[in-house]
Structure 1
Amino acid sequence: MSRRSKLVVYAVLLVCCVPFVFPTWWMATTSLKPVSEIFAFPPSLWPKDATLDAYRQVFELQPFGQQYLNSLYIAVVVTAGTLVVSSLAGYAFARIPFRGAGVVFVVVLAGLLVPNEVTIIPLYRMFDGLGLVNTHWPLILIPVLGAPSVLATFIMRQFFITLPRELEEAGRVDGLGRLGLFWRVALPLAKPAIGAVSIFTFLHSWNLFLEPIVFLSSKDKFTIPQALTQYVDAYGGAMWNVQLAAATLSALPVLIVFVLAQRQFVEGLAQTGLKG
């Protein structure tokens, strides 16, 4: 490809990136504007009188730091738990033959067809009976044992199916049992699938909204999506600059996780047949 052709391709890609980058740019720059400038016409792409007052109010109006940590540790725990469950289940479906494996797998996948809104009331009654309402346990157990884990199990199963059986046969010659084959042979090779599962599980947990508003009632236990709805004035109107400042802060972990694991995410989807 000639240099001119490369420049044309880069220019086209740059233009195509605008619809995806511009909303994030607008969110971050608008969070630095005073309210009067947010609604000015014509709108400006950069604040004329930049101020950090909105970021100060984010932490003054409610315990945003605690809420931030709540979302962070819940997302990390859910991601780790989902990886454990999905990798073991995916390996079992891919490599351990047992009667009715196909039927069981179809039943497991059927969990993806059930909307969260259908199960939220039975789940609330169950956790209320256990005394776990207004705790973080429902936000951890439901994703780990629910639909996100089912999708993760599917991805891990598809990856393990592609592994050559000769690798396991070599491990058996070395005296490895089933658990040893999983831990020392299959799992180290599954880094792309693990990266893909980690990203979408972290994002799903970080953006979880329905379950927090159902199970949590104390502000110090709120997560980020729930906290963003609390920045309103005395009349119930949105505090736009404060909400955008909080949203900007909430987007940082998502960007960091994606930047660190984007290569594994793409490779994982490509090798599990989910691309395109």
Structure 2
Amino acid sequence: MRTEPALDPVAGGDVAGIRSNRPSLGPRIVLYVCLGIAAIPFLFPTYWMIASSLKTITDIFATPPTLWPTSPSFAGYAKAFTFQPFARQYFNSIYIAVVVTVVTMLISSLAGYAFARIRFRGQNLLFVVVLLGLLIPSEVTIVPLFQIFEKLGMINTHWPLLLVTSLGAPSVLATFIMRQFFIALPGELEEAARIDGLGRPGIWWFVAMPLARSALAAVAIFTFLNAWNLYLEPTVYLSSPGLFTLPEALTHYVDPYSGPMWNVQLAAATMTALPVLIVFVIAQRQFVEGLAQTGLKG
């Protein structure tokens, strides 16, 4: 029997060929430089926000503008907590975003598993009806929802934010993502779980959910960001400063003449944006992997 000669890694073999296919250092440096230049229009506004939060109002409107404050000051950060109950508003945004994220993950995983793994009459039609929720703008439903919550006595409470956000369009998109993931699961896993005596709830919890961690991470990230950035709903449903969330609170930093306090607004905006940016940078890999495994990569 004829055998192929073994490849000797020490002598080179195919290893040298593989290495030769890798881009050399020069093109990689050029690529990174081009990517860095392309990122400037996206990163500069964030840098300008942080730098201007350390300036006085006079320095912000100085001509020519300065890229860094001549005398950095954290007075704007201190004033952000004195003009409004900013700490309370920060807590409001955190707990609303966390509750909405947890509820959305639970509902979307249950609905997505049902649409993907359980066969019932009218399944596809019902799923299309659910997806139609993505086509309805929130501005269209805000008036009837306000009337409903007003009759229930929930105006100027956080209940409308929790319910509308958990059951609205973000939940529909999360359901779609989870369904796409669960469709790809091998049927043999469910058969093995049934042999071990698990029913549908047990299969969902002990088999499907552990395997769906990447999809759940993607759902958690975009749901949290959506709930964190809510502006229309808090503006409509809330009127007490102590109940405000951060996006609404940012618009209330004004002077006695109703003019914006730019350095204080920018300081509050920096404290609002940085935690979300940090979380996204840390978890972006899980976010991309989750979308890729559900077939939503573009």
Alignment of 1:44-123 (within 5 A): 44-123=66-145
Q: Which residue of 1 aligns with 2:202?
A: 180
RMSD (Å), alpha carbons: 0.9
Q: SS at 1:229's partner residue?
A: helix
Displacement of 1:87 in angstroms is: 0.4
Q: Which of 40, 50, 63 is equivalent to 1:28? A: 50
Q: CA deviation at 1:259?
A: 2.6
2:217 counterpart (192, 195, 203): 195
State yes or no: 1:132 paired with 2:150.
Answer: no
Partner in structure 2 of residue 241 of structure 1? 263
- Cα distance in structure 1, aligned partners of 2:144 and 2:109: 28
Matched, 1:232 2:249: no
Q: Hey, what does 2:238 align to over in structure 1?
A: 216
Partner of 2:172: 150
Within the candidate set 166, 175, 183, 2:188 is matched to: 166
Looking at structure 1, the residues matched to 37 and 212 of structure 2 have their Cα atoms a distance apart, in angstroms, of 35
Q: Partner of 1:262 in structure 2?
A: 284
TM-score, length of structure 1 as denominator length: 0.98
Give the superposition deviation at 1:187.
Answer: 0.6
1-structure distance, mates of 2:217, 2:188? 24
Larger radius of gyration: 2
Residues 156-185 of structure 1: CA deviation (Å, up to 9, x unaligned): 001111111111112112111111111111
2-side partners of 1:194 and 1:207: how far apart? 20
Measure how far apart 1:257 and its partner are: 2.3
2:100 is aligned with what amino acid?
Answer: V
* Structure-2-length-normalised TM-score: 0.91
Q: Is residue 289 of structure 2 the alignment partner of residue 272 of structure 1?
A: no
After TM superposition, give the deviation of residue 19 of structure 1 in Å.
1.2
Whole-Å separation in 2 of the counterparts to 1:163 and 1:24: 41
Structure 1: distance between partners of 2:130 and 2:229: 24
Q: Give % identity.
A: 65
Q: Tell me the alpha carbon deviations over residues 189-211 of structure 1, each in whole angstroms, 9 at most, x when there is no partner.
A: 11111111111100110000111
Q: Which segments of structure 1 move beyond 2 Å, counting only runs of 4 or more? A: none
SS at 1:133 equivalent: coil
- Counterpart in 2 of 1:205? 227
| Structure 2: runs of 5 or more not aligned | 1-22
CA distance in 2, matches of 1:164, 1:12: 42
